[in-house]
């Protein structure tokens, strides 16, 4: 940015008037705003007793889940596209030949480091089989770093936990299953 850039709009600091210099009137006008909000509608929620409402779960980016197909098998085909797209390098996959005849490859291990994840949703975008999705669960906690590295079983259990409340996004959005 150059000082003579035409797109830069330089604003001078406004000069303080008499009320400003006297200090107290501004204090009172500030307190008036505070008092007004004391009686107005509440903007905050009392978490965790009260849960905030998620506007649209379809576009919310919370904890990941690994989707299962109709037969309860993991949908992931271990193509590594999520790991490739991930800007935080938090996805680690080990691929193996699949035990099922209709597929060549599946993920033997699939781990996401939830602490390293920046919840950008790129993995979800990259996935060609809609296997990895972000749910609207946002309050994930753990007692150790190891606990926050979610493995395949844990990610599949997130699917079991959320599948009723949040059906697979691809189906909701009208894509083929």
Partner 1 sequence: MGTVLVDGIEVPVADNERLNGIQAAERAGIDIPHYCWHAGLSVVASCRMCLVEQGTKDPATGKITMIPKVVPACQTPAKDGTVFITNSDKVKQCRAQVEEALLIDHPIDCPICDKAGECRLQDYYFEHGQPERRADIRPFHSPKREMGDTVTLFVDRCVMCTRCVRFTREITGTSELMVTNRGSHEEIDVFPGFPLANKMSGNVVDLCPVGALGDKDFMYQQRVWFMKSHDGICTGCSTGCNIEVEENQDRVYRLKPRENAQVNQWWMCDEGRYGYHHVHAEDRQVGPRRREGDKYVNIEWNTVTAEMKAKLTAAGRIGAVISPHLTIEEAYLLIKYVRSIDPAAVLALGPVPVIGTDERFPNGFTIHAEKAPNRRGIEMLLAHFGGKVLSFVDFQKELDAKTLRAVWVSAGYKKSDWNDETTARKFAGLDVLVVQDLFSSPLWNMATYQLPGGSFAEREGSYVNFQDRLQTAKFAIRPPVGAWVEGQLYWRLLERPGLYQSRKVLTEAAAEVTALHLALGGVPPTGLDLRANQLAGEKKEAATV
Residues in contact with partner 1 by CB under 8 A are 77-81, 84, 95-97, 101, 103-105, 128-129
For the CB of residue 152, give the shortest distance to partner 1 in the complex, in Å.
16
Taking the CA atoms of 92, 95, 99 and 104 in sequence, report the sign of the dihedral they define: positive
CA distance 136 to 125: 16
**Which residue, 91 or 137, is less far from partner 1 as judged by CB?**
91
**Which residue, 95 or 122, is less far from partner 1 as judged by CB?**
95
Question: Rounded to whole angstroms, what are the CA distances from 50 to 42, 53, 54, 57?
Answer: 13, 9, 13, 18
For the CB of residue 151, give the shortest distance to partner 1 in the complex, in Å.
19
**Which residue, 82 or 137, is less far from partner 1 as judged by CB?**
82
Beta strands 105-113 and 91-97: pairing type?
Answer: antiparallel
For the CB of residue 97, give the shortest distance to partner 1 in the complex, in Å.
7
CA distance 76 to 159: 13
For the CB of residue 124, give the shortest distance to partner 1 in the complex, in Å.
15
């Amino acid at each position: 940015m150059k000082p003579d850039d035409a797109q830069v709009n330089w604003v001078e600091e406004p000069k303080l008037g008499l009320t400003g210099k006297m200090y107290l009137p501004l204090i009172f006008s500030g307190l008036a705003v505070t008092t007004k909000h004391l009686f107005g509608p509440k903007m905050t929620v009392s978490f965790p007793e009260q849960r905030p409402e998620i506007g649209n779960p379809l576009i919310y980016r919370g904890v990941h889940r690994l989707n299962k197909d109709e037969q309860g098998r993991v949908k992931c085909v271990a193509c590594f596209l999520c790991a490739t797209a991930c800007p935080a390098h938090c996805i680690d996959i080990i691929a193996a030949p699949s035990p099922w005849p209709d597929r060549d490859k599946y993920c033997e291990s699939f781990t996401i480091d939830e602490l390293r994840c920046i919840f950008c949703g790129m993995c979800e975008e990259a996935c060609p089989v809609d296997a990895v999705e972000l749910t609207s669960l946002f309050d994930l906690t753990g007692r150790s770093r190891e606990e926050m590295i979610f493995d395949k079983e844990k990610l599949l259990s997130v699917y079991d936990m959320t599948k009723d409340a949040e059906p697979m996004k691809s189906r909701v959005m009208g894509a083929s299953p």
